[in-house]
Structure 1
Amino acid sequence: MRKVSRSEAASHTAIPGYADAYEQEIGDWTVTLESDLSDMDLAPFFKGAPNDQCQAHHMGYVVKGRFGYRIGDGVEEIFEAGEAFVIEPGHTPIMFAGGEFVAFTPTDEAKQEAAVMRPNIMKYAKEHGIEL
């Protein structure tokens, strides 16, 4: 498959009340179509990664609302609808309710990122009574 849509994506991850994401590998890239349903600093989901930060590169485009990230020294960058972005390794994402974006991540890096995030998301869901 050389394209991706919500209806045909290989993977769908829904975290009720928080996020709804669809992913598809295309060649060496993982394409993510994400809708964020609440404001949240995602730093807790990267515990255990080097420096407790995402180590992946991302390129993308904000379709609606806002999306951002924070680096280790606390500096934040926020992207608004209609803006493209490039994010280097060493960050933690910040999501905003009503935000929608498309992101492109090298697949090997996306898999490493997911391996760190999954157990942290499961722990968070259990602690907050979220059924996944």
Structure 2
Amino acid sequence: MPKIAKQETQDVVSVEGYEGRFAELDGYTVAFETYTADADLAELFKGLPDDRCQCPHWGVVLKGKLTYRTRDGEMTIGAGEAYYASPGHLPFLHAGTEVIEFSPSKELQETLAVVEKNMAAAG
């Protein structure tokens, strides 16, 4: 049975307002994420079906809050709450937030390919 601690992760992404530390656990990606700036990420998902993230996520907000917008409305998850974000969502990140999130690696990589292309195009 695999496990990982945040400080053991080797894959680190750090950009203004965000740090993510990632590890693969038996077909799932675990992400330890910290948000230091508010960010509406809707533009990064352009080009995916319905221009929304199609990867499901399960997670826990350790500190702060995280908002997911769907066609049916929005859900804000606060510190100490667990969540499931079904395909078809858009995240809004709030400064001062820390989460641990689990996603199926295949779907996540397909989504991140589009997100990275959009980030590169934005400069």
Q: How would you bin the TM-score normalised by the shorter chain? A: over 0.9
Distance 1:32 1:15 in 2: 15
Distance 1:3 1:22 in 2: 14
What aligned pairs does 1:12-23 form with structure 2 within 5 A after superposition?
12-16=12-16, 18-23=17-22
Q: Does residue 1:47 correspond to 2:46, yes or no? A: yes
Question: Could you say what secondary structure the match of 1:48 adopts?
Answer: coil
Residues 52-96 of structure 1 deviation map (CA, whole Å, 9 limit, x = unaligned): 1000111000000001110135x1100000000001000111100
Gaps of 5+ in 2: none
Distance 1:72 1:115 in 2: 23
Find the counterpart in structure 2 of residue 35 from structure 1. Answer: 34
Distance 1:80 1:64 in 2: 7
RMSD: 1.4
Choose from 89, 92, 99 the match for 2:90. Answer: 92
Distance 1:111 1:35 in 2: 20
Find the counterpart in structure 2 of residue 11 from structure 1. Answer: 11
Question: Could you say what secondary structure the match of 2:5 adopts?
Answer: coil
Distance 2:107 2:76 in 1: 22
Amino acid at match of 1:49: L
Identity %: 36
Distance 2:35 2:121 in 1: 19
TM-score, normalized by length of structure 2?
0.93
Find the counterpart in structure 2 of residue 58 from structure 1. Answer: 57
Offset at residue 5 of structure 1 (A): 2.7
Once superposed, which parts of structure 1, at least 4 consecutive aligned residues long, lie more than 3 Å away? none
